[in-house]
Amino acid sequence: MSGHSVPSRRKAQRRAGRTQHTQEGHPLAEYSTPDPLLTPAEVAAMFRVNPKTVTRWARAGKITAIRTLGGHRRFRASEIDRSLREMQEMDA
């Protein structure tokens, strides 16, 4: 017998019954939206900044980030578009 174990069926059933939540603890179903999600690199290209800057903005609460199950940040396109328009209006 090899040293690798196969996850038990009971453990898999418990995982399947769990509700996934956002970072704030709200069920993901509340946030299902057809709004496309953008990566930090895509947002950075729109604002002409480094992707690290976008991550800092998210940590500072300047823009709202959604976390994927893998822990990566994603941003709602509608919010980013609105922020971009506001910045352009301030520059005009």
What residue ranges do the domains of the chain occupy? 37-91
Given a cut of 70, whether residue 32 has pLDDT beyond it is no
CATH of domain 37-91: 1.10.1660.10
Q: How far apart are CA 43 and CA 64, in angstroms?
A: 12
- Helical axes 51-60 vs 40-47, angle rounded to 10°: 100
Task: Tell me the residue type at 56.
Answer: R
Among 20-24, 52-56, 66-70, 74-78, the range scoring the smallest mean pLDDT is: 20-24
pLDDT for 77 equals: 96
Report pTM.
0.62
